[in-house]
């Protein structure tokens, strides 16, 4: 049973007698006073509804702000949120229910954690994060809620850790890494968007954890992309792969059925089983090509069950395109969505 100090009970009662008071449980659902974790006071001020929420046991202000409408709730104007200890947690403006302008976040000790800028509810413009000691931790920019532009990361002592560009939420181009003295420790290059010139095809990797590891070597037109290893629940280090191969398909005379039968035959001899097949007229076919097969297959290797997506295409220029996306069942929760990001990006360049 909670024991509430007399002066707080008195304060709550005064509020209840003077204005309508709504009691709320830990999930912010209306409740009886005995089950309350918060209580709320609302009143009409000019054209807006002014709301204040309090922590029930201390009567400490939890939030204050104004609404253009309560049903549906539409935030309008300036808002503040507070920690149970009374320190400011977050402040910023809303326009028509969406974040706008600068928003600031603080930790429970009152130190600034981050500076955000919004337009129509989406992060847009400069974004900064800070270490607990007040030193800048990160500085970047966003556009319509997606990280884009030059980015710098710093250590708690103020020295720069790394810098480079983001494009559509992924690291892009050359990145530099520094030691505490400012000396360059290393360079890295990131790329997620590729034009496969031999196939006149565009493909986008799921994110910047993926790298091109094998280029065409003259004897075979093949691109192999591999991901940073994923550790599954059994402790296995799994490296998913996306493979693209291009060959001359003129002899098939646009017969993609014969093409896919021939290209998947070697897989069948290795125990690969085709679980489902889609063609362009099927509902859910994920590719813009009209002469293609999309297959989901499975196989077992070294005691690990795999999922293999197989895509076979003959394009308008009689190029045969084979795309394979391979992972183990144990990491589908992590990587299947990534595979679909790439699958849906595949298109012929006009």
Q: Domains (ranges, CATH) in the chain?
A: 6-190 (3.90.930.1), 193-348 (3.40.1000.10)
Residue 345 has pLDDT above 90, yes or no: yes
| Amino acid 176: pLDDT | 98
| Amino acid 5: pLDDT | 53
**Which residues lie closer than 8 Å to 153 by C-beta, 6 or more apart?**
137, 138, 160, 161, 162, 163
Q: What number is the average pLDDT over the span 64-83?
A: 97
Q: What number is the average pLDDT over the span 266-270?
A: 94
pLDDT tens by residue, 27-59: 999 999 999 999 999 999 999 999 999 999 999
| Amino acid 1: pLDDT | 45
| Amino acid 187: pLDDT | 96
Average pLDDT, rounded, for the chain: 93
Query: E strands within 14-148?
Result: 21-24, 38-45, 48-55, 61-70, 73-75, 77-82, 88-95, 98-106, 112-119, 122-123, 125-130, 136-143, 146-147
| Amino acid 350: pLDDT | 77
Q: What number is the average pLDDT over the span 273-297?
A: 97
pLDDT tens by residue, 115-151: 999 999 999 999 999 999 999 999 999 999 999 999 9
**226-234, Cβ contacts within 8 angstroms, sequence gap of 24 or more:** 227/335, 227/338, 230/331, 230/334, 230/335, 232/328, 232/330, 232/331, 233/330, 234/330
Contact status, residue 208 vs residue 226, Cβ threshold 8 Å: no
pLDDT tens by residue, 160-209: 999 999 999 999 999 999 999 999 999 999 999 999 999 999 999 999 99
In this structure, of 70-84, 213-227, 299-313, the range with the lowest mean pLDDT score is 213-227
Give the number of other Cβ atoms within 10 Å of residue 22's Cβ.
Answer: 14
| Percentage of the residues of the chain whose pLDDT score is greater than 90 | 91
Which pLDDT band, with edges at 50, 70 and 90, does 220 fall under? low
Which pLDDT band, with edges at 50, 70 and 90, does 221 fall under? confident
Contact status, residue 205 vs residue 242, Cβ threshold 8 Å: yes
| Amino acid 270: pLDDT | 93
Which pLDDT band, with edges at 50, 70 and 90, does 17 fall under? very low
Report the C-alpha gap between 132 and 134 in whole angstroms.
5
């Amino acid at each position: 049973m909670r024991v509430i100090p007399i002066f707080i009970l008195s304060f709550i009662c005064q509020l209840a007698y003077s204005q309508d008071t709504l009691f709320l449980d830990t999930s912010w659902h209306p409740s009886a006073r005995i089950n309350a974790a918060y209580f709320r006071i609302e009143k009409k001020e000019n054209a807006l509804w002014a709301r204040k929420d309090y922590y029930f046991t201390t009567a400490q202000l939890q939030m204050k702000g104004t609404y253009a409408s309560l049903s549906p709730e539409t935030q309008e104007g300036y808002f503040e949120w507070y920690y149970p200890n009374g320190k400011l947690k977050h402040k910023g403006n809303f326009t028509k229910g969406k974040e706008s302008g600068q928003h600031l976040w603080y930790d429970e000790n009152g130190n600034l954690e981050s500076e955000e800028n919004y337009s129509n509810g989406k992060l847009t413009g400069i974004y900064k994060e800070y270490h607990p000691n007040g030193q800048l931790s990160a500085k970047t920019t966003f556009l319509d809620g997606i990280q884009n532009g030059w980015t710098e990361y710093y250590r708690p002592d103020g020295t720069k850790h790394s810098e480079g560009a983001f494009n559509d939420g992924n690291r892009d181009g050359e990145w530099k890494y520094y030691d505490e003295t400012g000396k360059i420790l290393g360079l890295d290059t990131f790329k997620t968007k590729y034009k496969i010139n031999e196939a006149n095809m565009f493909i986008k990797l799921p994110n910047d954890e993926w790298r091109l590891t094998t280029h065409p070597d003259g004897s075979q037109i093949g691109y192999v992309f591999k991901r940073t290893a994923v550790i599954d629940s059994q402790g296995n280090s799994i490296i998913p792969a996306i493979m693209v191969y291009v060959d001359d398909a003129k002899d098939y005379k646009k017969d993609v059925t014969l093409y896919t039968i021939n290209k998947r035959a070697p897989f069948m001899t290795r125990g690969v089983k085709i679980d489902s097949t889609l063609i362009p007229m099927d509902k859910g076919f994920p590719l813009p090509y009209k002469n293609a097969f999309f297959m989901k297959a499975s196989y077992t290797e070294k005691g690990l069950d795999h999922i293999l997506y197989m895509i076979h295409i003959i394009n308008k220029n009689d190029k045969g395109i084979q795309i394979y996306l391979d992972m183990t069942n144990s990491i589908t929760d992590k990587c299947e969505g990534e595979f679909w990001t790439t699958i849906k990006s595949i298109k012929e360049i006009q």
